[in-house]
């Protein structure tokens, strides 16, 4: 079984996370296709604002980029399974970032998640690779 197929199976078996369980800092590790940004200390930071879960990406000690919000979503490519969707379509992002969509499923509640990085092209999501989110304690 190749890496992509293995991660697809993990994604399918994982559970739908509750949006409200995302809080604080998570390390990000690209697992397939795209190069890992781990050596740049890639993290996502989640917090509640006006009743929604929102956040941003960070590199190094404090370089903020890629603001987002969480919403319930569906991964159509894998049989319409429910996911937490990280949506980058926010005004403070440059237009190129606004097309990013991450589909997230829970491997271990509160600590480990698997995600699918997608990019919208002509309004349709195109899959580019799997990544993990690990809660930083």
* pLDDT tens-digit series, residues 8-25: 999 999 999 999 999 999
Instruction: Copy the structure tokens of residue 107.
Output: 């491997």
Q: Residues 61-84: pLDDT tens digits?
A: 788 989 999 999 999 999 999 999
- The CA distances from residue 9 to 12, 26, 106, in Å, are 5, 22, 13
Non-local (6+) Cβ contacts of 59 within 8 A are 37, 40, 41, 42, 43, 65
Give the architecture-level CATH label for domain 3-135.
Beta Barrel (2.40)
From CA 83, how far away is CA 93, in angstroms rounded?
A: 23
pTM: 0.91
Among 102, 117, 118, which residue's Cα sits nearest to residue 19?
A: 102
């Amino acid at each position: 079984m190749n890496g992509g197929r293995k991660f697809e199976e993990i994604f399918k078996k994982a559970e739908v996370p509750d949006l409200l369980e995302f809080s604080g800092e998570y390390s990000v590790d690209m697992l397939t296709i795209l190069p890992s940004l781990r050596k740049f200390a890639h993290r996502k930071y989640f917090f509640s604002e006006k009743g929604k879960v929102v956040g941003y990406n960070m590199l190094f000690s404090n370089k903020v980029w890629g603001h987002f919000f969480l919403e319930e979503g569906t991964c159509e490519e894998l049989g319409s399974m429910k996911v937490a969707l990280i949506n980058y379509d926010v005004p403070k992002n440059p237009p190129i970032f606004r097309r990013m969509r991450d589909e997230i499923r829970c491997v271990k509640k509160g600590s480990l998640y698997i995600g699918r990085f997608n990019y919208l092209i002509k309004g349709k999501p195109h899959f580019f690779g799997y990544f993990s989110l690990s809660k930083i304690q």
